[in-house]
Amino acid sequence: MTDLYGILFQGLLYPAWESGLRRRPTLRYLKRLERTQWCSLDELHALQRAALRNLLAHTFRNVPHARSRFAEVGVHQHDVCEVEDLAKLPILTRDEAASHFEARKSTVPPLPAIGKMTSGTTGRPLAFGYDRDSEYWRQATKLRGYGWAGYRPGDRSVHFWGSSNALSPPPFRTRVKVSLDHSARREHYIDCTERSEDALASVTRRIKKLKPSIILCYAQAGAALARHVIETGSRDWRDTPVISAAERLFPNDRAAMAEAFGPGIFETYGSREVMLMAAECEAHEGLHVSMENLIVEVIVRDGASQRAARPGEIGEVAVTDLHNYGAPFIRYLTGDLAIERSEGRCACGRWLTKLEAVEGRATDTLRDGAGRPVSGLFFNVLFASLAHKVRQFQVVQRKDRAIDLMLVPTSQFDDALLELVKKNCARYLPGVELRMELVPEISVEHGGKLRVVRVES
């Protein structure tokens, strides 16, 4: 529920900061998105078509890697006029994106002013960039999607998820800036890596004290917390909406979360590369795609041929980032699998297309020496911040709880990294033997996906 500070923040402080002082168009974009979410499907497709044509006109002219790839398959700019024509263009795999970092950048402004790293769900870190305008679109898209769950910046929120800051701290100045920003927005961050009963009891106490308007969590972490709350009979709060991210939300986990926090459980699907791709609305019937910012395709590949997945069919997610001109992602394979859903108006009234469910984001839960559960995303978060030193990784926890960690080093790899990994393992996985091995490559398993964190059963 929005209180006085929330009203002040949303009505005055935030607009003054974002639109006035920083002159960012985020809130203007958000207003536009709040309007276009009620557009008809034809209108939404027209928006996508116009944005796609502009993006491709820029890409054909100014992005060397895309230009040469398009030329290889003999596709010209005038061949791609409709959204369906995207299928004529080659897909961009993660390996390809990682290998052509420089050639994927635009040679003219807008340049990729923001650079990031991700370990993703495949274990191979990727450096990528995007321009500032794309960042404003991303923020506005996130605010709208989270808004469906009731999230408003400035309302008190608890974020129960992984923090690379805790594992590999950034410079002091950055930490102070981030912490001030979180305080103003009243965002409370709690590291979800540790999932022992003690850790969950401590999170429960924080929630009782803070009485947040909304909780944001990694799916598996939120589910573990919910089960703890139910088993200990700790719930003393009113229904609190929960936004679940980063991992797949399984039906039994959703049921536990609904019992512990209330019926408003909202699954979201995003990635570091393009941020919020799809989010659940109040009708809770699939995830609405962020159509104004992204074209999300679900494709079925069979050898060299490919086609769009039919409703109910599972396929690979390929995303086209409509407002990133700095280093475009066009038909980029996220590494996730999703189930396609037929088009049609949602019970909420929106025509935004939907994904039925996103598969392949399941991570195994690790155990420390005493058998206490630890988030399987722990290593993803750690190596996302160390991508300049490690090209790829894989973790296998054996039956005796020993961990085999395979690392593919980059030229910047050093002993300090080994020390940092050892230190974090000793902290989060006490009592577990850690064996590290440097390898030239890690082979991908069936389906082209690597189980980055695997626990032997």
* Footprint of Zn ion (CB under 5 A): 281, 283, 346, 348, 350
Alpha carbons 61 and 70: distance in angstroms, whole number: 11
Residue 57 structure tokens: 């006109």
Among residues 33 and 223, whose Cβ is nearest to Zn ion?
33
Among residues 241 and 376, whose Cβ is nearest to Zn ion?
241
| Smallest distance, Zn ion to C-beta of residue 222, A | 21
| Smallest distance, Zn ion to C-beta of residue 192, A | 28
| Smallest distance, Zn ion to C-beta of residue 279, A | 10
| Smallest distance, Zn ion to C-beta of residue 345, A | 9
Strands (E), 263-327: 265-271, 275-280, 287-289, 294-302, 305-308, 314-321
Among residues 38 and 79, whose Cβ is nearest to Zn ion?
38
Among residues 200 and 278, whose Cβ is nearest to Zn ion?
278
Q: Pairing relation of β-strands 434-438 and 403-409?
A: parallel
Alpha carbons 291 and 83: distance in angstroms, whole number: 12
| Smallest distance, Zn ion to C-beta of residue 41, A | 13
User: Under a CB-based contact definition with an 8 Å cutoff, are residues 279 and 128 in contact?
Assistant: no
| Smallest distance, Zn ion to C-beta of residue 244, A | 17
DSSP string, 186-224: TEEEEE-SB-SHHHHHHHHHHHHHH--SEEEEEHHHHHH
Among residues 91 and 338, whose Cβ is nearest to Zn ion?
338
Question: Helices marked H in 37-103 — which ranges?
Answer: 41-62, 64-72, 94-99
Side-chain-side CA neighbours of 441 within 13 Å: the count stands at 4
| Smallest distance, Zn ion to C-beta of residue 191, A | 32
Type of residue at 311:
P
Among residues 33 and 56, whose Cβ is nearest to Zn ion?
33
For residue 189, how many other CB atoms are within 10 A of its CB? Answer: 18
| Smallest distance, Zn ion to C-beta of residue 99, A | 39
| Smallest distance, Zn ion to C-beta of residue 238, A | 24
Alpha carbons 355 and 200: distance in angstroms, whole number: 32
Alpha carbons 431 and 325: distance in angstroms, whole number: 48
User: Under a CB-based contact definition with an 8 Å cutoff, are residues 29 and 51 in contact?
Assistant: no
Among residues 51 and 289, whose Cβ is nearest to Zn ion?
289
Among residues 166 and 346, whose Cβ is nearest to Zn ion?
346
Among residues 331 and 350, whose Cβ is nearest to Zn ion?
350
Q: Give how far the C-alpha of residue 221 lies from the chain's centroid of Cα atoms, to the nearest Å.
A: 15
Nearest Cα neighbor of 26 from 112, 152, 133 is 133
| Smallest distance, Zn ion to C-beta of residue 145, A | 11
Among residues 236 and 343, whose Cβ is nearest to Zn ion?
343
Give the angle subtended at the CA of 281 by the CAs of 280 and 287, to the nearest 5°.
30
Alpha carbons 107 and 86: distance in angstroms, whole number: 23
